[in-house]
Amino acid sequence: MPVTGRIVIDDIRPRASEPGFPAKAVIGEAVPVRAVIFKDGHDVLAARVQLYAEGRSAPESVAALATAANDLWTGTIVADRVGRHQLVVQAWTDRHASWKKRVLAKLDAGQDLSVEVEEGIELLARSVRDAAGVPRPEVEQAAAALADVTLDPVERLRPALTRQVADALAGPDGAPDLTVAPPKPLWVDRERALVGAWYELFPRSYGGFKGTEERVVQIGQLAFDVVYLPPIHPIGVTHRKGRDNTLGAGPDDPGSPWAIGAADGGHTAIDAGLGSLEDFVHLRETVEANGMELALDYALQCSPDHPWVHEHPEWFHHRPDGSIAYAENPPKRYQDIYPLNFWPARDEDRVALWRACRDILEHWIGLGVRLYRVDNPHTKPFAFWEWLIPSVQSRHPDVVFLAEAFTRPRVMEKLAEVGFSQSYTYFTWRTERDGEEGLWAYMEELTEGRAADFSRPNFWPNTPDILSGPLRNGSPAAFALRFLLAATLSPSYGVYSGYELYENEPASETNEEYLHSEKYEIRHRDFDRPGTLAPLMASVNRIRRSHPALQRLRNLHLLATDNPEIFAYAKVSDDGTDALIVAVTLDPLGVQESMVHLDLAALGLPGDRPFPVVDLLSGERFAWSGPAAFVRLEPWWRVGHIFDLRSEAPNRPPVTAP
């Protein structure tokens, strides 16, 4: 049975859906904390939240909670250290405020106050005993003043308690009903777990690691934050897939990088065609020298030629004839891949396999890689991730895991709950503003829904597997607007190489993959040709870096527009000094106009006079006034605005024109 304290403290957030799992935050993030707090009777309560880094006895930070109505108390707390934390909410009777409330009510009713004066003196005396910091003369002076005010009005009572004494009485020290709620776990990541612009490329299309370095310099100029590589390991030859996912690869077909493992080695080896270990390390250093970070793919499956197939047949599924089963989701077949059996019959085999999977990560972590995009995590047991991720992060708390999952909502939620730092999302298929499947409802779900305290989105308009919606045979405007949405709605987003070149040919009318998918062949691209999306990418990425408002998710405020083809939203930084409004057309083909409706007070804007705004994309300046602004978007040259509402504030970053 639970044990309720003297004061009830319930429904503490942030929290996961199931008890015991941690909520998530990043360093420096203003984390909203709330709890339902009340007590029997009529006393005035006070409450606070303390944040403890695991293993430390002194709190890392403390914040007061305040209540507006319905027993809901709120505040914000900020962590400044990576790792596991505990949120501890405490509540107690504010003896000073309770006493004052009684005194004021009786004063108003003209009732006798002699008992309350006696109580006030006793409270003061107790504060002398409790709070060593209160100098005795001040207390005696206050007590003397109190004794004089028997029937005086409130104005004479108020100074009777000095600020210092009042503070002592208002605080938790010595409060006989101080109640401490059971700690709620909070995992604190470095900021990259929440914020980052990802760029995915296949290094073999650039001639391997060495050739990729040149491309990395260009990507750095586009102000991306992460360069992510699909698997870089030896690729199997047995049942290797040919171009366009065909059976029977030709001798020059490179195969899918996700068919991991060959005679040269498995998940810790490097495909010889890409370069050496030294080349890899040099590439990582080049990525970092260009202001970015390298991310690798963590894909727990094997080609039939992977060394584990021979060394550890017990880690695979076996058919009745003894052969190892390739991956199937009937009628689909993946003959070039053996799935691992994460729950073999013998428990020591399970333990050995799980440890081997962790060793792979330890290998690459040892080589300086701290970001992992995890392939198909929802096809492995949740219990495995629940063990693996904390096990790795307890030793390397700066490691970030991105879940490549586009599966059912509760499965997505569970992956976040058991430890994934962030996840791919349904953004790719959210192309309208309204309706159950619209962007509005989806952004509300992500920012306020049941998983909002522990899941973080990473918005990808495309991936090597997914060419969807308006991008299929789409115009450059379609690519521009989907990019702008992804990069400004979510603090983490990513694109797969070729996006800036408007690559738009689907594999077929019903297939979401690309024609001539780079998964099965080498692609050569001309990134230097005129008219690409690169300038917009560079502008938006630079704006993202210089505007903290775009580096948070929960600060999203959706704005009403009269035209459903225009999607508009505001973001305000935690400290209020940065405030942006983004308006994007959802129509890549025609002109759209709309009024955008603003909550002036919430955005810190004046209601009684015009105010200046600057479009950070075009450099244009506008004077707005009142609670609505007009927007006209012609997609062939402008798919959206990013309006800076604090353009005249001191120390603002300069306007960035493309």
- What residues are labeled active site? 375, 404
Piece of the chain touching its own copies by CB under 8 A; list 207-215, 381-389, 610-618, 630-638: 381-389
CA 72 – CA 69 distance, rounded (Å): 6
Is 318 an interacting residue with respect to its own copies (CB under 8 A)?
A: no
Residues in the chain: 658
Nearest residue to 346 via CA among 384, 390, 301, 315: 315
Nearer to its own copies, 228 or 338 (CB): 338
Q: Which of 108, 252, 347, 348 binds its own copies (CB under 8 A)?
A: 108
Can residue 70 be called a binding residue for its own copies (CB under 8 A)? yes
- Contact between 274 and 210 under an 8 Å Cβ cutoff? The reply is no
Coil, strand or helix at 235: strand
Distance of closest approach, residue 516 Cβ to its own copies, in angstroms: 25
Distance CA(369)–CA(294), nearest Å, equals 6
Using the rule CB under 8 A, is 40 a contact of its own copies? yes
- The answer to whether the Cα torsion of 91, 93, 95, 99 is positive or negative is positive
Query: Which of 13, 17, 243, 447 is in the footprint of its own copies by CB under 8 A?
Result: 17
Ranges of H-type helices in 247-306: 277-289
* 3-class secondary structure per residue, 487-541: HHHCCEEEEECCHHHCCCCECCCCCCCECCCCCCCCCCCCCCCCCCCHHHHHHHH
Q: Within 10 A of 654 (CB to CB), how many other CB atoms are there?
A: 8
Could you tell me where the DSSP H helices lie in 246-346?
277-289, 307-311
What is the H or E stretch that residue 373 is in? strand 371-375
Q: Report if residue 348 touches its own copies, rule: CB under 8 A.
A: no
Q: Report if residue 20 touches its own copies, rule: CB under 8 A.
A: yes
Under the binding rule (CB under 8 A), the answer on residue 81 touching its own copies is no
Compute φ and ψ for 568, nearest 5 degrees.
Answer: -135, 145
- Alpha carbon 559 to its chain centroid, in Å, reads 21
The stretch near its own copies (CB under 8 A) out of 102-110, 126-134, 148-156, 490-498 is 102-110
Applying the rule CB under 8 A, the residues between 550 and 579 that interact with its own copies are none
What letters, b where the CB count within 10 A reaches 16 and e where it falls short, cover 286-323?
Answer: bbeebebbbbbbbbbbbbbbbbbbeebebbbeeeeeee
Among 18-26, 216-224, 266-274, 435-443, the segment contacting its own copies (CB under 8 A): 18-26
Shortest separation between residue 615's beta carbon and its own copies, angstroms: 40
Q: Which position among 56, 111, 272, 562 is part of the footprint of its own copies (CB under 8 A)? A: 111
Contact positions with its own copies (CB under 8 A) in 492-531: none
Q: Does 394 bind its own copies (CB under 8 A)?
A: no
- The tokens describing 312, both together, are 């550890």
Q: Residue 358, interface with its own copies (CB under 8 A)? A: no
φ/ψ bin of 137: left (φ > 0), alpha (ψ from -120 to 50), beta (otherwise): alpha
Q: Which stretch binds its own copies (CB under 8 A): 59-67, 329-337, 463-471, 543-551?
A: 329-337
Our finding on whether 651 is near its own copies (CB under 8 A) is: no
3-state secondary structure 112-163: CCHHHHHHHHHHHHHHHHHCCCCCHHHHHHHHHHHHHCCCCCHHHHHHHCCH
Site string for its own copies, 117-156 (x = CB under 8 A): -xx-xx----------------------------------
Does 352 bind its own copies (CB under 8 A)? Our answer is no
Q: Which position among 71, 279, 314, 362 is part of the footprint of its own copies (CB under 8 A)?
A: 71
Residue 322 in the binding site for its own copies (CB under 8 A): no
Among 43, 177, 349, 565, the residue binding its own copies under the rule CB under 8 A is 177
Would you list the DSSP string of 2-36?
----SSEEEEEES--SSTTS-EEEETT--EEEEEE
Q: Which stretch binds its own copies (CB under 8 A): 408-416, 426-434, 454-462, 643-651?
A: 408-416
19 interacts with its own copies by CB under 8 A: yes
**For residue 189, what are the β-bridge partners?**
26
Q: Which stretch binds its own copies (CB under 8 A): 36-44, 224-232, 425-433, 484-492?
A: 36-44
Closer CB to its own copies, 221 or 341, in the complex: 341
Site residues for its own copies per CB under 8 A: 1-6, 8, 10-11, 17-21, 36, 38-42, 70-71, 101-102, 105-106, 108-109, 111, 115, 118-119, 121-122, 176-177, 319-321, 328-331, 333, 343, 345, 378-383, 386, 390, 408-411, 414, 418
